[in-house]
Structure 1
Amino acid sequence: MLHRRTRAVCAALTTSAALIVAGLGGSASAAPALSAAETLRTADAPPALLAAMQRDLGLDRAQARERLANEAEAGATAGRLRLALGRDFAGAWVRGAASDRLTVATTDPADVDRIEAAGARATVVPHTSAVLDAAKARIDRAAKHHDTAATPVWYVDVPSNSLVVEASRRSAVRALVKAAKVDAALVRVVDSAERPRPLYDLRGGDAYYIDNSSRCSIGFPVTRGTQQGFATAGHCGRAGSSTTGSNRVAQGTFQASVFPGNDMAWVATNSSWTATPYVNGSSVQVAGSTQAPVGSSVCRSGSTTGWHCGTVQQLNSSVTYPEGTISGVTRTSVCAEPGDSGGSFISGSQAQGVTSGGSGNCTSGGTTFFQPLNPILQNYGLTLRTTGGSDPGDPGDPGDPGGTWAAGTVYQAGATVTYGGATYRCLQAHQAQSGWEPPNVPALWQRV
């Protein structure tokens, strides 16, 4: 039953996406546009990732593939509806073993018909995404001058339409909310005894050593011009720290690092090392960095516990470690243990981020946060190495036949570009690459 139902849902979402393009300013082109699943190359999901999804999400292999395809189409549909609903938009999420139920929230009952016509379930809520995000931003600012040891995690929870603060003491939540001048009606308190911490002394997908001492893991290989290297967690090392590979051969140097505040860094390697578009050797291919929506499956590779999967619970979360608060991380239900930090989070073939920290373990379960990859790429001017990508130093198609779109640029949802004399708006955050020109990928761009 699940096989037939998920195929039908995927087909319905693809059809709905085409209708939305036609109804919201899209135009037909001579060559057929790629579907979301084709754009994000969900069929390229590697065996190790599919096996982990089977184990952790209770799926068989066909169901795992169908879930990834459904999530790709749901993300594109949600992006189009975000654009169509404008200020009324209040978030979107997928549910079900096959991610076959996309829900889109709005504050305006008049939007319900439009949402349902796109193949999604509609729900009307009191607070827009903008209102909740603004409230979280105020808490982020207040946390810089406030003791958040008893309130280590906070995030916008889209399904409950609230700003959640996890806390060991409710009085600490009241003090934080008051200091941030946030309306208490927006806040939902979740009692939690968790004490998140960075996962130091780690190996991840490929181990490396910092200053011949502590261990961390390579997140994703990248390039910057002709320079090769990799993205990793900021808590692993500081700018100027040297690294050696798992074989103790000289490897490179940390070029930049931020922690706390964020948990991002990148290492430039010497000529003995070559950046490749793989995680854990050649078994997992990376095709891009399109951000997965809330509720999507996500898997992590780490040298301590191997492959483990779960779901994206919240985007743009904040978490307090003993060293300080970091913001903009993604909260997941994936387990992790010391030795997994800095490693790769991936959804299908799309790179998501690098392991930051969390609580629990892979015996009893737990929560793990990852630093999203796109901000690392954007902040440091890095290009993710992808399968089918250009050689290091080749910037790719600069936007011919004319326009502002450019391969290698990180685009956020809502960004606008021109290409071929037309204007397009970005539907899902991603780093552009050759082959993903706006007319070719309606999962990522909509003509306006």
Structure 2
Amino acid sequence: MRRSRLPYACLSALLVLGGWTATGTGQATADDSPTKAPAKASPAPASEGLLQAMRRDLGLSKEQAEKRLAAERTATALVPKARKAAGSAYGGSWFDARSERLTVGVTEDASPATVRRVEATGAAVRTVEHTARELDRAKARIDRLDAPSGVSSWHVDPAAGTVVVNVVRGERADNDVRDFVSRARAAGPVTVRTVASAPTTFAAGTVGGDPYYTGNVRCSIGFSVHGGFITAGHCGGVGQQVRGWDGSYIGNFQGSSFPDNDYAWVNVGSGWWTVPVVLGWGTVPDQLVRGSAEAPVGASICRSGSTTRWHCGRVLAKNETVNYAQGAVHQMTKTSVCAEGGDSGGSFISGDQAQGVTSGGWGNCSSGGETWFQPVNEILGRYGLTLHTA
């Protein structure tokens, strides 16, 4: 990895490419089911920089941020146990920031024994109308519909027990939008919500920073894998050459998918190497990556990118279909984290656990917005890659 110009190069050097690590924004794709077992979350204390970022972006004190991170680690570990305990009555799960506990939905027909098994895991229980399987099937039927540009995205909201269809403000009266919503309602329980604007990808023209380049497009590196790094698919096609922040040759896109998915991987050579680090940009210390345990809805999450650097927020939804101008991308995770052009492909991380690569969104880091990422375990499974961990 060629890099020497940053004052924190000693840690950056742990990263794949010279400054690439967790920076970036790109579109992310999500695979249906991860094929690699996520590593256990480490109880290592959070850095001062991370706590400061959570204070800035989430409005938490240092003590509140430390308590939140500990509770989220516990909740993340509980998800598979609680889902198994709920069995066929499982209605989804999410992290409740107020109680700082994992909440699990179970249907009304769940037996008392089932409820007790779920509670025994340490999760809170809430009665819901629909199972997670029913909601997922409804969303899958909506995925088969052609969506007009006035429809931003749609996802399952387990807490509300519905599939949420997001419509761009001012477009709800459009005939094509109304027709789509009507057909979506026929697919299952649907709630329509309004969003500020349509989503866009976060690739950008060539500018300075610590990015990687394909032609005149700048994106950000996501996570190191053995043999290369993963990033967003909309940043480049198979065979395209990739250059680093210093203009030197890194490698080529070995796999890429967009739309439908938004993920890719690039091989690394010519003096570059991989390391399990996400760049903190001096805002926070560079973050070691120790696994890829999936954080639940409601958990805090942070993003590193070559344009806006380090920002934090919350996981808002999973398995969301995002309707970009280039086509729909499926199984994305939505967050309240901001991003801007050039952040595409960059890292989303929760504690020391890799979550995904930046895809796109709306808004910016001055006025706020929402950003989607492609879950990392899906990308690893799709290409048979192994995450480089500390």
Q: Which amino acid aligns with 2:336?
A: S
Unaligned runs of 5+ in 1: 1-37, 388-448
Query: Which protein is richer in helix relative to its size?
Result: 1
Shift of 1:109: 4.8
1:263 — aligned with what?
A: 262
Alpha-carbon distance in structure 1 between the residues aligned to 2:41 and 2:101: 20
Which residue, out of 186, 192, 199, partners 1:189? 192
Paired position in structure 1 for 2:368: 365
Distance 1:118 1:277 in 2: 32
Q: Verify: 1:230 aligned to 2:229, yes or no.
A: yes
TM-superposition CA deviations, 1:14-55 (whole Å, max 9, x none): xxxxxxxxxxxxxxxxxxxxxxxx930142544433321121
Cα distance in 1 for residues equivalent to 2:92 and 2:218:
38
> Which aligned pairs between 1:40-439 and structure 2 lie closer than 5 A?
40-43=41-44, 45-96=46-97, 100-107=100-107, 108-110=109-111, 111-142=114-145, 146-168=146-168, 169-170=171-172, 172-179=176-183, 182-184=186-188, 186-201=189-204, 206-211=210-215, 213-223=216-226, 228-280=227-279, 283-387=286-390
Shift of 1:193: 3.5
SS at match of 1:384: coil
TM-score, normalization: structure 1?
Answer: 0.72
The two structures, once aligned, show a CA RMSD in angstroms of 2.2
CA drift of 1:200 comes to 1.0
Secondary structure of the 1:288 match is: coil
Distance 1:237 1:316 in 2: 24
Kept after mapping to 2: 8 A contact 1:104/1:121: yes
Q: CA deviation at 1:177?
A: 4.9
Kept in 2, the 8 Å contact 1:358–1:368? The answer is yes
Q: Residues of 1 paired with 2:64 and 2:122: CA distance? A: 20
Aligned residues: 340
- Displacement of 1:319 in angstroms is 0.5
TM-superposed deviation, 1:173:
4.9
Task: Indicate the residue corresponding to 1:4 in structure 2.
Answer: none
Amino acid paired to 2:214: I
Higher mean displacement: 257-266 or 105-114: 105-114
Give me the whole-angstrom Cα distance separating, in 1, the residues matched to 2:298 and 2:209: 24
- SS of structure 2 residue aligned to 1:292: coil
What whole-Å deviation, never above 9, does each CA across 1:286-337 have from its counterpart, x for those lacking one?
Answer: 0001111111110001122221111111111111111111001100011111
Q: State the shift of 1:119 in Å.
A: 3.3
AA aligned to 2:232 is A
Alpha-carbon contact 2:76-2:293 (below 8 Å) kept: no
Q: Is contact 1:200–1:214 with CA below 8 Å preserved after alignment?
A: yes
Q: Deviation of residue 100 (structure 1)? A: 1.4
Question: Once the two structures are superposed, what CA deviation does each residue of 1:50-84 show, in whole Å capped at 9, x if it has no partner?
Answer: 32112112223343232122112112223212101
2:151 is paired with a residue whose SS is coil
Report which of the two structures shows the higher radius of gyration computed on alpha carbons.
1
Equivalent-residue separation in structure 2 for 1:102 and 1:68 (angstroms): 13
Q: How big is each residue's C-alpha offset from its partner over 1:259-285, in whole Å with a ceiling of 9 and x where there is no partner?
A: 100100001122311100001177110
In the TM superposition, residue 204 of structure 1 has moved relative to its aligned partner by: 11
Deviates most, 289-298 or 187-196 = 187-196
Aligned residue in 1 for 2:17: none
Which TM-score applies when normalising by structure 2? Answer: 0.82
